[in-house]
Amino acid sequence: MTSRQRTLFDRDDVSTTSEVELRTVMRFPAFKNISNGDLFSLSLSNNTSALTHGMHRFAAKFIPQIPAWAIEEFAEKSSTVLDPFCGSGTTLVEALHRCKSGIGIDCDPLACLIAGSKTASVSPKRIRSLAVALERAWTVPATELTDPMPGIRDFGHWFSKDAWGWLQSLRDCVLALEASETERRFFLTVFSSIVRWVSNADDQTQKTYVSGTLKKSPPAVVPVFWKALRKAESALGQLQEWRLRDAEAKVMCGDAANIDIKPESIDLVVTSPPYLDSVDYMYNFMLEYFWLGPLLGVKDKTQFNGMRRGVIGAKNPASREVPLLPESSADLIAEEDVAPARLLATRMYCHMMGRHFASVGRAMKPQARYVLVVGNSQSHAGALPIHDMLIRLAADAGLKFERAFAYRVRRHYMKFPRKGRGGIILMDWVIVLRRASRPQDYPPRLPIPNVQLGHDEVAH
């Protein structure tokens, strides 16, 4: 298969364009009114953490407007929507409002816990009565402190004795509640949502570390937990009103490169796949894993470290035997141009994403759409054109490129000085693919728009 070099865009192919205007919109237009290569500035005056969306932090969540748009465009009430990299479950929450069935897959057990609780079919009334039982039981901190996961060194580095004691007794009381599995997981998700906050670790970054320069005074566990629980319970109430009657979301812990779903059963896929060596999701949740890992099947620190190397996009993949970069990427990236330290990770990423597209393609109905969101990672020298690469890997698996558009979010309530930060910037691309019956030709590469960041815009 050869790639055509001619561009469909009226801008230069793969070069920085002269400065272009973004079209400001309050919501994305209908697909039929979007042209390939359109650039939007999405103006959001409301926040993006309504319903259960804000129940738990999660790196690289996408904004709910993306799955909402895709589901409205390409699905019906009777549809089954799949997010094979579901992370914290944004797609599934949006699907509950519009379709009878949502399926999420993620290989990270904590992500599955969060996504499951954010879409749980649990009555807020029941959560309230369990909260009353918990309040009666959880009255003192544990006095005999034990490491919650075998293999952690110096747990006291991460938590004060006070926080450790209260978290330990809280976890034990939640485990002792007379609750269903789903209800208990809901409480554990709220537990998890406060762990970083009450720890000594920095709150300002996703990475888990205790800052030597920015001294933190963590808040007390008890009021923080009750506040988070009240918020989660009210979010659940909103979700119950909003979801379609009988709508269900199912979350499966599994590998998106080897999907275990009935062939030709999925009407729409909406997802944001992991990037190549960018976010280490499990490392970001290290403290949450210390507390909950053994309950989620991650028995000790060694297993935790091993799992971090098994995800798609891992910096340091566990496997040493990885096929070379696919032929399809030959004119996008040459092996000799990749820094030796990144070569294995890059090969592994392409290999796994190729397997993912083949696997998900089999689960999709003929003509079903696959909408993926991926950042423009060409913003700094030496970065790889991941979005072009993904389009080609998908084409090899019989997913035909239809159209792509890019967006940035403009938030009215955020005002950062952005002086001097113009030039090539991060845009998120929304790429729409459609299942065909055989491998597809490659479309022209996506352009890199040269747009100035406005004072109230964020590139995420």
Ligand X SMILES: C[S@@+](CC[C@H](N)C(=O)[O-])C[C@H]1O[C@@H](n2cnc3c(N)ncnc32)[C@H](O)[C@@H]1O
Q: Which residues make up the interface to ligand X (CB under 6 A)?
A: 58, 60-62, 85, 87-88, 90, 105-108, 111, 255-257, 272, 274, 281, 311-312
Picking from 89, 51, 26, the residue whose alpha carbon sits closest to that of residue 271 is 89
Picking from 430, 400, 306, 448, the residue whose alpha carbon sits closest to that of residue 15 is 448
161 Cβ contact partners less than 8 Å away, ≥ 6 residues apart: 145
The DSSP element (H or E) to which 191 belongs, if any, is: helix 181-198
Picking from 125, 71, 74, the residue whose alpha carbon sits closest to that of residue 98 is 71
Chain residue at closest Cβ approach to ligand X: 87
Strand-pairing partners, residue 434, are 369, 400
Tell me how far, at minimum, the Cβ of 346 lies from ligand X, in Å: 15
111 vs 194, which CB is nearer to ligand X? 111
Tell me how far, at minimum, the Cβ of 348 lies from ligand X, in Å: 11
120 vs 179, which CB is nearer to ligand X? 120
Given a contact cutoff of 8 angstroms between Cβ atoms, the answer to whether 104 and 164 are in contact is no
The gap from C-alpha 205 to its chain's centroid, in whole angstroms, comes to 16
Tell me how far, at minimum, the Cβ of 433 lies from ligand X, in Å: 17
What CA–CA distance (Å, rounded) separates 152 from 37?
A: 49
Tell me how far, at minimum, the Cβ of 53 lies from ligand X, in Å: 9
Residues 272/277/278/280 CA torsion (nearest 10 deg): 90
Tell me how far, at minimum, the Cβ of 74 lies from ligand X, in Å: 17
355 vs 400, which CB is nearer to ligand X? 355
How many residues would you count in the chain? 460
87 vs 141, which CB is nearer to ligand X? 87
What CA–CA distance (Å, rounded) separates 382 from 415?
A: 30
170 vs 430, which CB is nearer to ligand X? 430
106 vs 457, which CB is nearer to ligand X? 106
Picking from 417, 418, 425, the residue whose alpha carbon sits closest to that of residue 448 is 425
Strand-pairing partners, residue 24, are 41
Burial 65-101 (b: 16+ CB within 10 A, else e): bbbbbbbebbbeeebbbbbbbbbbbbbbbbbbbbbbb
Tell me how far, at minimum, the Cβ of 276 lies from ligand X, in Å: 11
Q: How many CB atoms lie within 10 A of CB 438?
A: 6
The DSSP element (H or E) to which 211 belongs, if any, is: none
179 vs 384, which CB is nearer to ligand X? 384
Tell me how far, at minimum, the Cβ of 81 lies from ligand X, in Å: 13
92 vs 174, which CB is nearer to ligand X? 92
11 vs 309, which CB is nearer to ligand X? 309
Tell me how far, at minimum, the Cβ of 60 lies from ligand X, in Å: 4
Tell me how far, at minimum, the Cβ of 98 lies from ligand X, in Å: 16
103 Cβ contact partners less than 8 Å away, ≥ 6 residues apart: 80, 81, 82, 83, 92, 249, 250, 251, 252, 261, 266
Q: How many CB atoms lie within 10 A of CB 219?
A: 13
